[in-house]
Amino acid sequence: MKLHALTDEQYLSWERDGFLVMENFLTAEEIKKYDDGLDSVVKLWKERGSYNSEHAQLANVDQVSAIIEYDDLFVELMEHPRMMKTLRDLLGDAFVMIDNDGLLKYPQQKAHTSWHRDTGNDLYVNGTRIPFMVKVFYFLADVPYDGGCLSFLPGSHKMRNDQLPKVGEPEDMPGHVRMNVKAGTAVAFHGSTYHSALNNFSSRTRRSVIYNYAPMFLRTWPGYEPSEALQAKASTRMRQMLLGMLPWMSDPKAFEE
């Protein structure tokens, strides 16, 4: 298989674990730009009444659903060139963005999810299993070990629903791996990977921006459909593809601009 961004080792660890941690993915300049942008967007979101899609209600966090509608900075991050090549390795030549959020998890807040997989659906194309979706987290500040980490059960994307352990507190999951990562780290995970947010016992706010990508025949989640204004401004094939505006099953040209 020809890889466009990942090393063989990264691809094998993705296959084995169902998630991939990419340290130093963003430069210091990018971290600052997007982190400042996140603060401005959250302020604007509050001024507009903290509206969220009814399909996007997480407890114990500030969740700006459809963050790309608030600031073009987050449209730009949606199509980060190296991440697009990475997703090409994970999803193939054509994919769409199906949801996107800014997420602030404040100190001393309970976990905002329990253990779950985002989808129980398996998808096969030409006999090969491909992810139903790949979710990407960008962490814009360091996340301490007890700072409400996104956590995974490695290899769980290959487990049946009835094999997935149930626990009381999210920290009790045997064998879980925490994303206590440095600012600038990007994490991608398979839609079937068992994951949870943990409790934030620390004094730090977890600051993340999330994009969910899926094969092009999936539709954008309700509440995340790109506005007409955003579509009208989408002049590149990459952006049109991500916003679900292109009919093609495969468009390698989108990666050439």
List residues near Fe ion by CB under 5 A. 118
Cα–Cα distance measured from residue 101 to residue 83, given in angstroms and rounded to the nearest whole number? 17
Cα–Cα distance measured from residue 176 to residue 95, given in angstroms and rounded to the nearest whole number? 29
Please identify, using beta-carbon distances, which residue of 210 and 246 lies nearer to ligand AKG: 210
In whole angstroms, the minimum distance from the beta carbon of 228 to Fe ion comes to 29
Please identify, using beta-carbon distances, which residue of 188 and 238 lies nearer to ligand AKG: 188
Q: Which of 13, 60, 113, 119 binds ligand AKG (CB under 6 A)?
A: 113
**Contacts for 36-45 with beta carbons within 8 Å, 24 or more apart?**
37/71, 37/73, 37/74, 38/67, 38/102, 38/104, 38/140, 38/207, 38/209, 40/71, 41/67, 41/70, 41/71, 41/74, 41/102, 42/102, 42/104, 44/70, 44/71, 45/70, 45/102
The listed partner (ligand AKG, Fe ion, none) that binds 150, CB under 5 to 8 Å by sort, is ligand AKG
The listed partner (ligand AKG, Fe ion, none) that binds 141, CB under 5 to 8 Å by sort, is none
Please identify, using beta-carbon distances, which residue of 135 and 207 lies nearer to ligand AKG: 135
Please identify, using beta-carbon distances, which residue of 60 and 240 lies nearer to Fe ion: 60
Please identify, using beta-carbon distances, which residue of 121 and 236 lies nearer to ligand AKG: 121
Residue showing the smallest CB distance to Fe ion in the complex: 118
Name 125's Cβ contacts closer than 8 Å, sequence gap at least 6: 92, 215
Q: Which of 35, 71, 89, 118 binds ligand AKG (CB under 6 A)?
A: 118
Cα–Cα distance measured from residue 235 to residue 95, given in angstroms and rounded to the nearest whole number? 17
Check binding of 38 to ligand AKG (CB under 6 A): no
Nearest to 103 by CA among 151, 177, 45, 25: 45
How many CB atoms sit inside 10 A of residue 61's CB? 23
In whole angstroms, the minimum distance from the beta carbon of 11 to ligand AKG comes to 22
In whole angstroms, the minimum distance from the beta carbon of 198 to ligand AKG comes to 8
The listed partner (Fe ion, ligand AKG, none) that binds 210, CB under 5 to 8 Å by sort, is ligand AKG
Please identify, using beta-carbon distances, which residue of 78 and 197 lies nearer to ligand AKG: 197
Contact characters 187-216, ligand AKG, x per CB under 6 A: --------x-x------------x------
Sign of the four-CA dihedral 99, 245, 84, 227: negative
- Residue 225, judged by CB atoms within 10 A of its CB (0-12, 13-18, 19+), counts as middle
Q: Which residues of this chain interact with ligand AKG, rule CB under 6 A?
A: 103, 113, 118, 135, 150, 195, 197, 210
